[in-house]
Amino acid sequence: MPIPTEFWTAILRLMLKRIKDSALESRWGKAAIFFGGAAISFLCLSIAFRKLDWPSFWLHLRSMDLSAIVAGLVLVNGSNFLLAKRWHLIVSTFGSVSYWNAFWSLRISFFFNATLPARLGEPFRIFYLHRKSGLSPARTLGALGADRLLDLTTMIALLYISVIVLGMRGTLPSTKSIALIIVFGFILLFCLAKLPKTSSIPWMNRLLHWRSQIFEGVAPLMRLKILMPTIPISFLGWAIQAWLVMTFSSGVHEPISFFKACMVVAGVNAAIAIPSSPGHIGTFELGAMTMLTYFKVSPDKAATIAVLYHMIQLIPTLLIGAYGYYFHFLTPRHEARKNRISKY
């Protein structure tokens, strides 16, 4: 039985209406993401600060030694240049990328991560290098994966060492389980690498092409001259984060060891993986305070450490990122547009 013409007409009208309403839905979607993130942040702050002695918290915050703040700023900015060098080492294998293009792609993407919810600034790193250095977006996406993989593996290694040193081995999966996970991961990567490079099906061919380019992006980690410097840089980057926690804990006269500080850093990074409001407000504090109170730091001192640890990173990220976005991204584009117009 043939399908009536009215059926296809109705479907066409529905599709046209869907296209017409897409802009409105996009705005509603952005509003939902914003308010949802704000709700998560409010909930996390409520949980983190529920037992806080506010007068004591403000006292600790006001009495924080200025030298601790200065030391924190030095450590944070040193870490910024260090991680930019790691990113530069990875992406420079795909073309001519200057250190400063790598640096600003990183800082501006972190700026957008701090001003947009749910880490929506990450794609800017890819876009910036494509525009400034002509790198393939797919390869840069693979390089971003390699960058994050270095962060993840070195953090897990530090976490594992810290747990053993602190006598918390019982909280970890068994060695056999960890070995099985690693083996499964290698098998999965091997299977993905052995997939054919092309397909007669158009959409499958596009997926395989992207898979190939993403694997090319991760390929620098297979080179010793890239791997040898990037692993120490990754460990040093995490060590700087731990030193920041130690600096502020000493500032409130509640010093903690390096390995406890590593556990705090791990807790923060686990917490900020939860989508929330811009700048990880709430999730950051909850992750830091949960680990600090676990190590018997009082809630008011834990809150002081968490807030300062957060702000010492967030404020430079906003200032440096805003500067880079205006002077290294927007201004050159405006000048190029003026030059094109003047030619005509």
Query: Which pLDDT belongs to residue 289?
Result: 95
Share of the chain above pLDDT 90, in %: 42
Place of tokens 């705005």: 27
pLDDT, tens only, 125-155: 888 998 888 888 878 888 888 898 899 889 9
CA 213 to chain CA centroid, Å, is: 22
Task: Of 40-44, 70-74, 247-251, 271-275, give the lowest mean pLDDT range.
Answer: 271-275
Phi, psi of 252 (to 5 degrees): -105, 15
Q: pLDDT tens for residues 214-229?
A: 677 677 777 888 889 9
Mind listing the pLDDT tens digit for each residue in 227-269? 899 999 999 999 999 999 999 999 999 999 999 999 999 999 9
Residue 4 confidence (pLDDT): 52
H or E element at residue 292 = helix 283-294
Give the rounded distance of the alpha carbon of 71 from its chain centre. 23
* pLDDT class of 28 with cuts at 50, 70, 90: low
Per-residue pLDDT of 179-219, as tens digits, reads 787 788 778 777 776 777 777 888 887 887 777 766 776 77
Look at residue 335 in the predicted model and tell me its pLDDT: 54
Q: With cut-offs at 50, 70 and 90, classify the pLDDT of residue 339.
A: low
Tokens of 225: 């001259």
Alpha-carbon distance 100 to 85, whole Å? 9
Measured between alpha carbons, how far is residue 279 from residues 47, 65, 306 in Å?
Answer: 18, 25, 14
Overall average pLDDT of the 14-30 stretch: 51
**What is the pLDDT of the chain when averaged over all its residues?**
83
Mean pLDDT of 109-114: 89
pLDDT at 318 over 50: yes
C-alpha span between 103 and 129 (Å, rounded): 10
pLDDT top residue among 332 and 86: 86
